[in-house]
Amino acid sequence: GTSAIFYTAVNICGNGDEIVAAVNLYGGTFTMFKNILPEFGITVKFVDPLKPEDFDKAISNKTRLLYTEVIGNPALDVADISAISKVAKKHNLPLAVDSTFTTPYLIRPIEHGADIVIHSLSKWMGGHGTGIGGIVVDSGKFDWTDEKFHLYNEPDGSYHDIRFARDLGDLNPLAFILRMRLVPLRNLGACISPDNAWMFLQGIETLGVRMERHCSNAQKVAEHLEKHSAVSWVRYPGLKIDPGHEVSTRQFGNGYGGMVVFGVKNGLKGGSEFINKLKLVSHLANVGDAKTLAIHPASTTHSQLTEKDQAAGGITPDLIRLSVGIEDIDDIISDIDQALKG
């Protein structure tokens, strides 16, 4: 998944170019955008994805890409893909969307205006936490012939001096994905292994069945936590009180996903005690597994971020992230309850 994101960025942007990205990204992606891409001469401006107008304000004549997650990790803010897409189209810029948390079972972002969709296959697509891989989907609808996309309109010395937006004939609409295959994928080395590809193909066959259970269990867990005396707040798009409920209902089909986040009373100390008391639920950084997983992002997945960056991404010291699995719902809730006692 990380390679899919990196390849998307360097397949569009070069030295001196800019990306406008959502601020509430997964910690690894945020670090890549804030610290790694600048080493390649690519600047990333971070904005609030819940305010499409902020994307508009941040765009300059150097901007080459807009980027967001459908559901932010871990704050679970839900981006309005259609609204952000309108901003992208206004400026003739591609919109890339990480749809890992939603999978195609909930939303197909291209139908909402996205040009490029990225998934970490290691999560719900594979479904069992046994393989590592990512995927990039090109809508084939974006016109790369605008001269500002120099990687597509100038001869590419790494591949027969082809101008990918102009010299492919009937394949010109596939310029992005063909260049990704022939330049970064071919030359930089991150390539999915055959055994992992086989595991993902097996997983995708049962994606719909598993996602139905993930969504159902997550809804019940969220509703239970909402009434729990040891919990100070809950975020889940399926809750009617959730700030992302309206846009999720409009964009998604078949449910609201398998992720729930909540705050434990007593803050950082309470969160740590909760994690250590879990028995059935596993303390792991992965998400999208068949088994329920829990983690404290502030001290793990997002610990490399400053307190200011954590706060900007909606990560509070008391936040617990649950990736709700497909076990019996009574077993999941029972384990959560016993860990919250005391």
**What's the CA gap between 75 and 92, in Å, rounded?**
30
Q: Which of 46, 43, 142, 44 is nearest to 91 (CA)?
A: 142
Q: 239 and 151, same structural domain?
A: no
Structural domain contains residue 64: yes
The pLDDT value given to residue 291: 98
Pair type for strands 259-264 and 319-323: antiparallel
Structural domain contains residue 323: yes
Secondary structure of residue 169 in the 3-state scheme: helix
Q: How many domains does one find in the chain?
A: 2
**What's the CA gap between 92 and 326, in Å, rounded?**
42
Q: 325 and 221, same structural domain?
A: yes
Residue 182's domain comprises 2-120+134-191
**What's the CA gap between 99 and 1, in Å, rounded?**
11
Secondary structure of residue 119 in the 3-state scheme: strand
Secondary structure of residue 5 in the 3-state scheme: helix
Structural domain contains residue 309: yes
Q: 250 and 180, same structural domain?
A: no
Pair type for strands 43-47 and 63-69: unpaired
The pLDDT value given to residue 342: 66
pLDDT in tens, the chain (342 residues): 999 999 999 999 999 999 999 999 998 999 999 999 999 999 999 999 999 999 999 999 999 999 999 999 888 999 999 999 999 999 999 999 999 999 999 999 999 999 999 999 999 999 999 999 999 999 999 999 999 999 999 999 999 999 999 999 999 999 999 999 999 999 999 999 999 999 999 999 999 999 999 999 999 999 999 999 999 999 999 999 999 999 999 999 999 999 999 999 988 788 888 999 999 999 998 999 999 999 988 877 777 778 888 777 777 888 999 999 999 999 999 999 999 996
Which DSSP state fits 290?
A: S
The pLDDT value given to residue 307: 80
Sheet holding 18-22, edge to edge: 43-47, 18-22, 63-69, 95-98, 116-120, 134-138
Structural domain contains residue 127: no
β partners of residue 294: 283, 322
Indicate which CATH number applies to the domain containing 271.
3.90.1150.10
Q: 239 and 166, same structural domain?
A: no
Count of Cβ atoms closer than 10 Å to residue 185 Cβ: 19
Contact in structure between 113 and 88 (CB atoms under 8 Å)? yes
Residue type, 33: F
Q: 171 and 36, same structural domain?
A: yes
Residue type, 281: V
Secondary structure of residue 213 in the 3-state scheme: helix
Strands (DSSP E) found in the chain:
18-22, 43-47, 63-69, 95-98, 116-120, 134-138, 231-235, 259-264, 282-283, 293-295, 319-323
Secondary structure of residue 155 in the 3-state scheme: coil
Q: 174 and 244, same structural domain?
A: no
Q: 268 and 140, same structural domain?
A: no
Structural domain contains residue 202: no
Structural domain contains residue 196: no
Instruction: Using the 3D structure, point to which of 191, 220, 235 is the last residue of a domain.
Output: 191
Q: Which of 42, 86, 89, 34 is nearest to 63 (CA)?
A: 42
CA distances to 11, 230, 306, 309, 323 from 263, rounded to whole Å, are: 39, 9, 20, 19, 15
Structure tokens, 96? 């890339």
Q: 261 and 171, same structural domain?
A: no
Structural domain contains residue 232: yes
The pLDDT value given to residue 67: 99
- Overall size of the chain counted in residues: 342
Q: 113 and 65, same structural domain?
A: yes
Contact in structure between 123 and 133 (CB atoms under 8 Å)? no
Instruction: Using the 3D structure, point to which of 191, 217, 232 is the last residue of a domain.
Output: 191
Residue type, 218: A
Q: 98 and 20, same structural domain?
A: yes
Q: 230 and 145, same structural domain?
A: no
Structure tokens, 321? 């992230």
β partners of residue 45: 20
Structural domain contains residue 199: no
Q: 320 and 240, same structural domain?
A: yes
Structure tokens, 185? 């994928």
Element (H, E) at 152: helix 150-153
Indicate which CATH number applies to the domain containing 102.
3.40.640.10
Structure tokens, 51? 């305010």
**What's the CA gap between 177 and 181, in Å, rounded?**
6
Instruction: Using the 3D structure, point to which of 143, 158, 191 is the last residue of a domain.
Output: 191
Q: Which of 319, 124, 331 is nearest to 214 (CA)?
A: 124
